[in-house]
């Protein structure tokens, strides 16, 4: 249990025990809040599929996976764009664009990897194309969520 007291540009954080008090600047406190929100969002992404455990027909399950896949792609693009922005700013300030170039190459190689990694699983189930399609989508969702979590942990 925590309580907060705002005083000017500082925040006094009162923890469970009074001896655990500490003060933060308002700016640092807001950075921590934003970081925690992003972190909690990433953990939510890694939670079990919203589609599994439901009694859905194959068609409804596929549609549910499509929606989940779209959400996971949006989350990854958000993290990628954030890193691109930071790396572009860094390149402008320092004149070094190698990190930006390598990040872009890494992003493109990851796209190829995840497609190939999930495609072989689909191809292994080919006689049953519906099951194969579901496995492909589940694999893509897992790959996207894992990459989003990895990108969320990177600090500059």
Residues 39 and 56 in one domain: no
Residues 11 and 59 in one domain: no
* pLDDT tens per residue across span 82-113: 999 999 999 999 999 999 999 999 999 999 99
* pLDDT tens per residue across span 31-50: 454 544 444 444 334 444 67
Residues 39 and 55 in one domain: no
Residues 15 and 60 in one domain: no
Residues 78 and 140 in one domain: yes
* DSSP 8-state secondary structure symbol assigned to residue 91: H
Task: State the residue range of the domain holding 102.
Answer: 51-152
- Kindly report whether the global pTM for this prediction surpasses the value 0.85: no
User: Which CATH number is 84's domain given?
Assistant: 1.20.1270.180
């Amino acid at each position: 249990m925590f309580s907060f007291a705002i005083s000017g540009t500082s925040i006094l954080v009162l923890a469970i025990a009074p001896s655990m008090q500490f003060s933060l600047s308002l700016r640092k406190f807001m950075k921590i809040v934003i970081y925690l929100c992003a972190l909690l969002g990433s953990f939510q992404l890694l939670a079990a599929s919203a589609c599994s455990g439901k009694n859905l027909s194959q068609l409804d399950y596929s549609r549910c996976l499509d929606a989940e896949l779209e959400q996971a792609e949006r989350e990854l693009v958000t993290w990628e764009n954030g890193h691109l922005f930071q790396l572009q700013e860094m390149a402008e300030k320092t004149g070094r664009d190698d990190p930006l170039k390598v990040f872009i190459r890494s992003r493109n190689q990851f796209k190829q990897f995840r497609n190939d990694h999930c495609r072989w699983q689909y191809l292994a189930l080919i006689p049953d194309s519906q099951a194969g399609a579901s496995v492909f989508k589940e694999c893509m969702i897992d790959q996207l969520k894992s990459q989003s979590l990895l990108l969320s942990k990177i600090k500059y």
